[in-house]
Chains A and B, each alone.
Chain A
Amino acid sequence: DAGVTQSPTHLIKTRGQQVTLRCSPKSGHDTVSWYQQALGQGPQFIFQYYEEEERQRGNFPDRFSGHQFPNYSSELNVNALLLGDSALYLCASTGGGRNSPLHFGNGTRLTVT
């Protein structure tokens, strides 16, 4: 039973570029959340997708957008990259309601130069 899978594992981009990160949820899960984890910090909530719609959004600018597909997989897009966007981006999935525990993937390490 595959857990949450994310691709790519590492990515290097230049300021001003755009990036797309991908996530496949754990089997049986229908809800996907994205978190940003800066070095030495805890994860910060970006947004959550359910039924192909953004259900809740954290305190991130519009440069951060996402999508969920009918098979429940998800993408995170970041436009006009800034140096400060360098972080580990974590995808988490859950199923079964609001308080079902999140299961995380291993993340995508994004470096912006």
Chain B
Amino acid sequence: GEDVEQSLFLSVREGDSSVINCTYTDSSSTYLYWYKQEPGAGLQLLTYIFSNMDMKQDQRLTVLLNKKDKHLSLRIADTQTGDSAIYFCAESMSSSYKLIFGSGTRLLVRP
């Protein structure tokens, strides 16, 4: 089946690392994506990982993929107040043109 789940809320102190988690159910996922949505705005693509990779690093962002457990995480190093937003995990599959999104994790960064 098609289902992507995320925890609803995460609060961290400025300068700490944030880890946002996501689980998905479809083993035929090809790519997994992280998007950021700020209030009143659309979705901004942060990073994405091919399903045969374990890890991808891009500046302050690190994506970890555990394909066996169907678990994806996004780590943000040195979290800043500007990182406060909603983060969406999404998966694509080889048999489809659509992305399947989770419900989003609201990240609050406290000064």
Which stretch, B11-19, B39-47, B61-69, B71-79, touches the partner chain A? B39-47
Closest to A103 in B: B45
Chain B interface main SS type = strand
Q: Can you show 22 pairs from A to B with CB atoms below 8 A apart?
A: A33-B98, A41-B103, A42-B102, A42-B104, A44-B101, A45-B100, A55-B97, A56-B96, A56-B97, A58-B98, A90-B43, A92-B43, A98-B97, A99-B30, A99-B92, A101-B45, A102-B45, A104-B35, A104-B44, A104-B45, A106-B40, A106-B42
CB distance from B37 to the nearest CB of A (A): 9
Question: Does B43 contact A43, Cβ atoms closer than 8 Å?
Answer: yes
Asked if A25 is at the interface of the complex by the 8 Å CB criterion, the answer is no
Residues of the B chain whose Cβ atoms lie less than 8 Å from the Cβ of A104: 35, 42-45
Asked if B33 is at the interface of the complex by the 8 Å CB criterion, the answer is yes
Number of B residues whose C-beta is below 8 Å from A?
25
Question: Does A45 contact B42, Cβ atoms closer than 8 Å?
Answer: no
Number of A residues whose C-beta is below 8 Å from B?
24
A90-108 contact mask (Cβ, 8 Å, vs B): 1 or 0: 1010000011011111110
Contact surface of A with B, Cβ cutoff 8 Å:
4, 6, 33, 40-45, 48, 55-56, 58, 90, 92, 98-99, 101-107
Kindly state the separation between the CA atoms of A41 and B43 in the bound complex, as whole angstroms: 13
Highest count of chain B CB atoms <10 Å: which of A4, A56, A90, A101: A101
Kindly state the separation between the CA atoms of A101 and B100 in the bound complex, as whole angstroms: 13
Closest to A43 in B: B101
Question: Does A33 contact B43, Cβ atoms closer than 8 Å?
Answer: no
Question: Does A56 contact B103, Cβ atoms closer than 8 Å?
Answer: no
